């Protein structure tokens, strides 16, 4: 007797927030696919089940997550989807309130509930899939989450509330994951965590990021290894030697500093001073000549005076970071800073952000002018209109500068490297030709 083969259930996974959430969605999708679900990422096609992986970091991100949930709740009302599931940081942080206030959601899960979420869909969590995931980034680059959670006391940050304490993944597991990714065509591996420099302290009782970098860089096929989310206080200098000595480790470091006024750094509980920060950045530049330093700052933190702001402006002018982003302070419940008065008004926050970004734009423009006439190894991510768009080793996807090459007169393969001679430069983009 012929058995009726049921069509695989269609699942659409929607990811909000940071690259760590991207990895979580990819792992979830890998598990669903292994359980014979037909899984897509942010598909416009109808799906029986929609899973929204939310962000709960700061106000704007929370609002975007709520709007996305409401959008799919309306789709469900219209009968376009059968089941709506919400997971990720916002759900971890506000589950009771969300359950009360938002109708139409079948289940809310936290950030550590993957096996439970799968069980709810009648699927099993497959341990043998560790290191496997369904990629959502272009095949040639991948994020690698080396740990979960954070032990730092930063006063403004709600992440430890949503992600828990710091838990490093064993080196063997990460090397296995890198081999699987390289076999699938990954050439650029981007190491991410809440605090990548804390790596190993829990598991090996010592910092082991340098050892991890060495082993991942040795994986065949990995042509670029990039480090994000370093923490300034207790910074493991040994990673700089590995970065300098290992050709396929990008001379690039993302190290959020958040502020430069000692008054603010103390209140933010960052465990470092302006002087120590300057000496650290100088050491990083001495030990890794030509390194690109990316950082981020928060403006408008409780108690921030014009004098504090001026200190940060002068610091930015003095340190000339290759890449810098600025966020306005968001008053987050249950964080230490929430006990302080959010006394900098939105207009002042925005004015200070604009002033900081104006300084950074001028620095970035000047830094890029010096690149004209040089030849850079560029990894091409996509074709956009008449241009191939790629990045140098000094640029991470989605956050840093891009290199534009006219498609009419140059040919490069997406997902491949090419040597590009830089012919002109803007504040955040470079233009060039193949050589």
| Cβ(415)–Cβ(139) below 8 Å | yes
What the block records as the tokens of 395 is 């640029």
Label residues 64-91 b or e (16+ Cβ within 10 Å = b).
ebbebbeebbebbeeeebebbbbbbbbb
Greatest CA separation found in the chain? 82
Among 19, 194, 328, 364, binds ligand SF4 (CB under 6 A): 194
The piece of 16-24, 89-97, 157-165, 179-187 that touches ligand SF4 (CB under 6 A) is 157-165
Q: For ligand SF4, how many residues bind (rule: CB under 6 A)?
A: 9
The Cα–Cα gap between 350 and 358 comes to: 12
Specify the residue, 26 or 254, whose C-beta has the smaller distance to ligand SF4: 254
Q: Strand 402-406 and strand 387-391: pairing?
A: antiparallel
Specify the residue, 85 or 154, whose C-beta has the smaller distance to ligand SF4: 154
Among 152, 176, 211, 421, binds ligand SF4 (CB under 6 A): 152
Minimum distance, C-beta of residue 151 to ligand SF4, in the bound complex (Å): 8
Specify the residue, 262 or 429, whose C-beta has the smaller distance to ligand SF4: 262
Which has the closest alpha carbon to 130: 169, 163, 173? 173
Among positions 208-267, residues that touch ligand SF4 (CB under 6 A) are 231
Q: Work out whether 394 is an interface residue with ligand SF4 (CB under 6 A).
A: no
Minimum distance, C-beta of residue 358 to ligand SF4, in the bound complex (Å): 25
Phi-psi region at 406: left, alpha or beta (left = phi > 0; alpha = psi -120 to 50): beta
Among 14, 118, 154, 209, binds ligand SF4 (CB under 6 A): 154
Among 195, 304, 395, 400, binds ligand SF4 (CB under 6 A): 195
Minimum distance, C-beta of residue 383 to ligand SF4, in the bound complex (Å): 35
Q: Work out whether 159 is an interface residue with ligand SF4 (CB under 6 A).
A: yes
Q: Work out whether 157 is an interface residue with ligand SF4 (CB under 6 A).
A: yes
Minimum distance, C-beta of residue 112 to ligand SF4, in the bound complex (Å): 16
Specify the residue, 18 or 379, whose C-beta has the smaller distance to ligand SF4: 18
The Cα–Cα gap between 109 and 104 comes to: 15
| Cβ(111)–Cβ(24) below 8 Å | yes
Q: Work out whether 150 is an interface residue with ligand SF4 (CB under 6 A).
A: yes
Handedness of CA 150, 180, 223, 23 (dihedral sign): negative
Q: Work out whether 160 is an interface residue with ligand SF4 (CB under 6 A).
A: yes
Q: Work out whether 324 is an interface residue with ligand SF4 (CB under 6 A).
A: no
Residue 248 CB-density burial (10 A; 0-12 exposed, 13-18 middle, 19+ buried): middle
The Cα–Cα gap between 144 and 178 comes to: 8
Q: Work out whether 115 is an interface residue with ligand SF4 (CB under 6 A).
A: no
Q: Work out whether 9 is an interface residue with ligand SF4 (CB under 6 A).
A: no
The Cα–Cα gap between 382 and 163 comes to: 33
Minimum distance, C-beta of residue 144 to ligand SF4, in the bound complex (Å): 17
Specify the residue, 104 or 160, whose C-beta has the smaller distance to ligand SF4: 160
Specify the residue, 195 or 254, whose C-beta has the smaller distance to ligand SF4: 195
Helix H, strand E, coil C: the string for 45-83 is CCCCEEEEEECCCCHHHHHHHHHHHHHHHHHHHCCCCCE
Which has the closest alpha carbon to 408: 385, 430, 429? 385
Contacting positions for ligand SF4 (CB under 6 A)? 150, 152, 154, 157, 159-160, 194-195, 231
């Amino acid at each position: 007797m012929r058995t009726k083969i049921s069509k695989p259930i269609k699942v659409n996974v929607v990811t909000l927030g940071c690259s760590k959430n991207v990895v979580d969605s990819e792992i979830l999708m890998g598990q669903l696919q292994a359980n014979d679900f037909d899984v897509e990422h942010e598909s416009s096609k109808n799906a029986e089940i929609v899973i929204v992986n939310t962000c709960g970091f700061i106000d704007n991100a929370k609002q975007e997550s709520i709007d996305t949930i409401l959008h799919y709740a309306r789709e469900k009302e219209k009968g376009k989807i059968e089941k709506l599931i919400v997971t990720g940081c916002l759900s971890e942080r506000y589950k009771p309130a969300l359950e009360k206030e938002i109708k139409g959601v079948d289940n809310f899960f936290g950030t550590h509930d993957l096996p439970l979420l799968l069980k709810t869909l009648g699927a099993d969590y497959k341990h043998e899939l560790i290191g496997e995931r369904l990629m959502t980034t272009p095949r040639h680059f991948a994020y690698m989450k080396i740990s979960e959670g954070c032990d730092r006391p930063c006063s403004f940050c709600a992440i430890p509330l949503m992600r828990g304490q710091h838990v490093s993944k064993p080196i063997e597991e990460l090397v296995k994951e890198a081999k699987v990714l390289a076999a699938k065509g990954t050439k650029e591996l981007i190491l991410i965590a809440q605090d990548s420099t804390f790596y190993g302290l829990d598991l090996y009782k010592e910092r082991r990021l340098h050892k991890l970098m060495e082993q991942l860089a040795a994986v065949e096929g990995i042509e670029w290894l990039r480090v994000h989310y370093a923490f300034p206080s207790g910074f493991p200098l040994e990673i700089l030697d590995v970065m300098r000595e290992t050709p396929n480790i990008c001379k690039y470091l993302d190290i959020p500093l958040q502020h430069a006024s000692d008054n603010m750094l103390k209140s933010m509980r960052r465990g470092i001073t302006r002087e120590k920060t300057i000496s650290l950045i100088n050491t990083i530049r001495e030990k890794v000549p030509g390194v690109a330093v990316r950082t981020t700052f928060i403006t408008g933190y409780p108690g921030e005076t014009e004098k504090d702001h001026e200190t940060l402006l002068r610091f930015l002018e003095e340190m000339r970071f290759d890449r810098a982003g600025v966020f306005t302070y968001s008053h987050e419940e249950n964080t230490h800073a929430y006990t302080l008065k959010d006394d900098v008004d939105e207009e002042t926050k925005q004015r200070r952000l604009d002033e900081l970004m104006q300084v950074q734009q001028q620095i970035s423009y000047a830094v890029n002018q010096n690149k004209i006439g040089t030849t850079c190894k560029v990894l091409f991510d996509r074709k956009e209109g008449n241009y191939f768009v790629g990045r140098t080793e000094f640029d991470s996807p989605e956050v840093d500068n891009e290199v534009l090459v006219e498609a009419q007169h140059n040919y490069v393969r997406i997902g491949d490297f090419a040597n590009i001679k830089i012919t002109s430069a803007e504040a955040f983009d470079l233009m060039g030709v193949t050589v």
